[in-house]
């Protein structure tokens, strides 16, 4: 099982909206590294949903419900999307500050490479965020 983290500015697409809609096409990724990560996602993989810029925190968990396909927002064959479905909400959002202060999470991709919007997580990183968010 592979674990992931995706970022969204809540003003552009929020966790609240995702929760209400139940699923969404994750489109608009225009960065090769992020695109490569989208292509690696397998159906059933779990994906943390992080709010950037405002309310900077992991909000909840999504599940990959459809593997990559052409991004419907463009005809350019380089760019792909996946479909994500609502899975579970964290009891307490896990803030960037909390992650920076945590010895397991201090070297997470989110902190090391702050501009990447789709990234893999190690199992122990995923588990640590869940335990902080559900504890």
Site of interaction with DNA (CB under 7 A): 7, 9, 31-33, 52-53, 56, 96-97, 100, 110, 113-117
Judged by beta carbon, residue 53 or residue 131, the one nearer DNA is: 53
**Closest CB to DNA among residues 10, 89:** 10
Tokens representing 41? 């996602």
> Which CB atom, from 104 or from 116, has the smaller least distance to DNA?
116
How much of the chain is helix, strand and coil, in % rounded to 5? 25, 35, 35
Strands annotated E in the chain: 3-8, 23-26, 46-51, 57-70, 80-95, 118-121
Please give the Cα distance from 53 to 56 (Å, whole number): 6
Min CB(53)–DNA separation in Å: 5
Residue closer to DNA, measured from CB, 51 or 128: 51
* Dihedral angle sign, alpha carbons of residues 94, 100, 103, 108: positive
Q: How far is the CB of 8 from DNA (least distance, A)?
A: 8
CB of 80 to DNA, least distance (A): 14
Please, what is the minimum distance in Å from the beta carbon of residue 46 to DNA? 20
Within 10 Å of residue 17's Cβ, how many Cβ atoms? 12
């Amino acid at each position: 099982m592979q674990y992931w983290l995706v970022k969204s500015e809540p003003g552009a697409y929020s966790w609240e909206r995702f929760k209400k809609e139940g699923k969404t096409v994750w489109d608009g990724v225009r960065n090769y590294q992020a695109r490569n990560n989208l292509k690696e996602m397998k159906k059933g993989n779990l994906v943390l949903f992080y709010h950037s810029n405002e309310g900077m925190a992991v909000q909840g968990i999504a599940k990959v419900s459809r593997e990559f396909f052409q991004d419907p927002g463009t005809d350019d064959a380089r760019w792909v999307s996946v479909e994500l479905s609502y899975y579970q909400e964290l009891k307490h959002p896990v803030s960037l500050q909390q992650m920076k202060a945590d010895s397991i999470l201090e070297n997470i991709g989110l902190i090391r490479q702050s501009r990447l919007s789709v990234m893999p997580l190690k199992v122990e990183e995923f588990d640590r965020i869940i335990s902080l968010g559900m504890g």
